[in-house]
Amino acid sequence: MEKVTVELCMGSSCFARGNAQTLTLIEHYIAEHNLEDRVELIGHLCLGACSKGPNLKIGENTYCGIQSECVLDLLVQALQKAETQ
């Protein structure tokens, strides 16, 4: 099964705007559901779009200004999609 890649901007602006919380949520979710071999978490330095942040990517999709709680839904959807591929 394909891994789902989650790329978070860990630059100071995105980190302060919500990616710090998003990172914690995702890490907990992965641990709780034993998804270590299904999700690849990657951190980036500033992606150069701070004003649109917090910025992140799940698979091929880029998301800007998304709340942490919504990111988990997007991750679940991406995992379900990866299962059917």
Nearer to ligand FES, 38 or 44 (CB): 44
Name the residue with the smallest CB distance to ligand FES: 11
Distance CA 22, CA 28 (A): 10
CA distance 19 to 76: 17
Binders of ligand FES in range 7-66 (CB under 6 A): 9, 11-14, 46-50, 53, 55
Closest CA to 69 of 25, 9, 12: 25
| Distance of closest approach, residue 52 Cβ to ligand FES, in angstroms | 7
Backbone angles phi and psi of 53, in degrees to 5: -65, 175
Q: Which residues bind ligand FES (CB under 6 A)?
A: 9, 11-14, 46-50, 53, 55
